[in-house]
Structure 1
């Protein structure tokens, strides 16, 4: 499988391929297209990056809750009568 770098018409299939498409050329055809700069060179696969490091410190276990409690939600209409 080869990833296309530039737009060109693929002769065997007769279709126009765009950058980012993947085609399945024979090994000889793959080298020929790579020399012309149309596809990635053979053996050039996607390199996986390492996951990012989380630099934030963990919150302490005994930290007090600072967010206020949510008020009681009421439905639409008049407020209740207090007696």
Structure 2
């Protein structure tokens, strides 16, 4: 896939809510599928600085933490994410 990642969207957002990847002081937070049912635990979090890096990991099965104003963030499975690149 060519082009820089400009946005990562949830395929089916909750009604009336625009969810975006959460950027923390450590970067975008993803969960490694190798940790199974414990992947959501903070000690297993993987952080990256760019959406391009996040997109690579999503392609490998990592979940992405997304949130919206007034709503707690949650992990979104890769099959529920759409990666938008410039030029698309």
Task: Normalising by structure 2, report the TM-score.
Answer: 0.28
The structure with more radius of gyration: 1
Higher strand share: 2
**Structure showing greater relative contact order (alpha-carbon pairs closer than 8 Å, 6 or more residues apart):** 2
Task: Normalising by structure 1, report the TM-score.
Answer: 0.29
Higher helix share: 2
